[in-house]
Structures are given as structure tokens and as C-alpha cells.
Structure 1
Amino acid sequence: MGKGAGCFPSKNRPPPVADHSPTPSAQPPSLPPNARASQPDAPPREDTARSSSLPRDAKLKIFIVFYSMYGHVEGLAKRLKRGVDGVEGVEGVLYRVPETLPIEVLNQMRAPPKDDSIPEIAPEDLEAADGLLFGFPTRYGAMASQMKAFFDSTGNLWKGQKLAGKPAGFFVSTGTQGGGQETTAWTAITQLAHHGMLFVPIGYTFGPGMFNMEFIRGGSPYGAGVFAGDGTREPSETELALAEHQGKYMAVVVKRLAKS
């Protein structure tokens, strides 16, 4: 036979390879019944909710931000904190706004020294709060200039709407019964509106204490309040209890919003 002919393969031609591919009519082998169960589970989907990004022991923060000249608003602030802290998973944090009056003027007004254990707050700190409670004395039916100066310094937060959606409330101090228990809080709502914050009044949730007419009491549906008189009157237990109630009420609202 000639070279490369007959049954001997040519050196230049590869030997034939057997075709083991299934015929078109063949079906792929089925998985055994337990194959699915033996496969590893898919990794859990990452939860992007706020609660998953926080440590298990992390608490919601309500910043209690106030200005107090003679200590009346500060007394309310501390009782508000007690109310906030009484709700599981929520913590109240006290801050004071910067003083704008020189020490010489404060001395002439016989204002007591500030409590150094309560830090001053900077405008950018507000962004870290889950809820806010602002306290201040009245000046002719509106907030004191120290608190107004602080709100005036929040322009960068307003520009970026960094506080939008945060719940907020007020508590106040006035000299007399007709001195602005309601209007001092009412006129302050404009600050919240421009920031897009949610005003949370207490309404009449304090119960019978809101209707007791046997003694003088500060506070209104807008929030807790105290009568300071000439500066020497101390807050009554009812006024302090109303403040504690407001702290608890706000904590419940903040906690509910965090779950939504």
C-alpha cells in the first residue's frame, strides 16, 4: 500500500477522537433528591436599616439643648433627661448653648455661674441627634437672644437640610403667668419649619395635672414650662413632673420613628 493509505493513519493526520457527547435526545442527568439540601445556604442579604448599622447596645440619642440664666430652664432640662433615660434604648444628653453676654453684665444681673459639667454645643453637633428638645427663657414672648443666636448659626445645616425629619420640642421659662408660656414656644416653631424638623408638642398627655387649677403651674400643650418670678422662685414639683413626662413622651416618639 502506498504511504499514508489503507488502515494505517498518516503521520500528518491526528488520530480520530471518540465522540462521547450525548445525542440530542439524551437528557442531562437529574440531581439526586438530597442534592439541594447538601448545597451551602446563600449568604444572608445585608440589611441596610439603621438598626443593623448600630451596635446592639447603642441607644437613640435625644439632645436636650438649653439656655438658662438663673437655673430654672436647667432644672427642667435635668428632669427631661430623667424622663428620656427612663425609656429603654433611649438616652438624653444635656448641652447648653454659648453665652453671648459678657461676664460683667451677668454679674450685674446676679446670674449664678454655669455648670461646667454640661458642655456647650456647636451647631454641627445637632446632626448626630435622633431627637431634639430646646429649652429657653422668654424675652417679650419669644426665645432669649442666646438661643436665637445659636439657631442663627445653623445656616450650614439649613443649607443641606441636615436636620430635616428630626423630631423636636420646646420647654420654656417665663416671669409671670401671662408672660409667654405658649407664645414663647409658638414663635419658636418657625426655626423648626425652616429646617424641616417635626414639632412634637405634648398636648394634654400629662393628664389631670394639666387641668389642676388649685395652684400656679407653668407648662402648656406646647411643652413643659416654669414660672421664674423675679428669678428667686423655684420650680414646683408639678412643673418638674411635667418636664419629666415630656422627656418620656419624646423618647417614645423618637423610638417609634426609628422603627418605621
Structure 2
Amino acid sequence: MRELFSLLRFDMKENFDSIPWTVYFWLFFAFQYFIYGQLVSRLVVSLNDYYLYYGTGLLIIMTFNVATWAGRRFVESAHEGRLRYILSLPIRRGELFLEQLLLGLVSNLVRIGPPLVLILVVNGMPWWVLLSSIAVLLAMSVGIMGIMISLSFIAFKSFDIYSAIIAGLSALLIRFSTILYPLTFMPRAYAGPSLANPLTYGADLLRSAMSIDVGSLLNPGVSTFVVVAVGVCTLTLGMVLVPRTLEGVKSS
């Protein structure tokens, strides 16, 4: 475990050297929430407090983007030759997978934390909502990163195919979900696929944690089960696939 935390400390230092990228995330949120969000919320009159609903959707999108970046970073490090160096270090393959997950969680917490606090302050929510909301967002991060890293075996066959699959999967997951509008407001052709999308359950679970009064939210118990199940399954899949993939990289 000492090697794991040593590598994590090194990666965190390298990661947070890129402060402009973190500031960009915050500026992106501020523009989308305070300008675009205000305009859109005035157009949507059929849903009470859509401004807050839209803000939570932004948090989900930002969480998804950071988690996707963390998964892609693992693949890109292999193509840059850095992964072969890491494999020469005395660290287990499973620990390397866990290190990448921890790095993604810390990155998500740093970049999503301030926007989340801002939403809670603007809407006058109690402090305990912060803890439950962070727990939901981090649980979603684990599931998303697990999916992206588990698919890394495709990248070692063809990076272009991997990039195309990730781009297509990301677009479908965001489009067919309740991130920006409730399930009851969707066309029938979208509602069915959205119910099979884990982001739908994560988004509704976050809104349940914030006590948003939207009658169309899915059952919080079901949403919790889906989010936890996706996280556990992707972790298990990653622990099985990643060591085998890394051995293939090392032998090549």
C-alpha cells in the first residue's frame, strides 16, 4: 500500500499543477449556471424551481467529464510510454487500478466541490445536504471511471476505436438521461432508454439528497441500489480485466 500512496501523491502533484484547467471548470459552471441557467429556467414554466434542477444537472455533467478524463488518462499514459515505467515499479496491478480510481475521486472532489457548495449556499440548503450530495457524486464517479478504465483493453488494440466508443457512449449516456429534464417530460422514444441508463438513477438520487420537490423523481431506494451496483460491478470488472491488460502491455 505504501507504493500505491507514493504513486498517488506523485500523480496528484502532476495533476494539480494544471491549475488553469481547474479554473476553467469553475468558470464553465459559473457561466452555465448564472447566465444560461437563468435564461433557460425562465422558459421552463411547467416545472417548479427548474433553476435548481438545471444546476444539479450541471454537477452531474461535470462529474461525468472529470471521471471520463480520469479513465482516458490511464489509456493515454500507456500510449505515451509512461505506463511501462510504472509497471517496472514494485506495485501490484490491482493497486495500480485502485490508484487511478483514487486519483479520479480526488480530482472530482476538488473540481466539483466548490460548485456544489455554491449551489447549496445560493439555495439556502443545510450543511448535511453537502455530505449526502458528495457521497452520491463520488459513487457515480467510481462507476463511470470503472467503465472507462475497464474498456481500456480496447485501446491497446486500437486507440481510435476506443476513442470512438467512448465518445459515442458518453453522448448516449448524457442524452438519454434525466440530467437536464425529468423523465415525465421526455418523449416516449427517450423515456425507455433513459430508464436503462445509470446516469438517470444517479441524477435523481442527487436531487433526492437535495430534497428537490419533483414528483417525477425515481424511487431513492432503487436509485441507490443501481448506483451502488454499477460501482461494485465496474470495480470488480476492472480488477479482473486491468491486470490482464497490463500484463499484455508489459510483455509487448
Report the TM-score range of the alignment, normalised by the length of the smaller protein: under 0.3
Whichever structure has more strand as a proportion of its residues is 1
TM-score, structure 2 length as denominator?
A: 0.27
Larger Rg: 1
Whichever structure has more helix as a proportion of its residues is 2
TM-score, structure 1 length as denominator?
A: 0.26
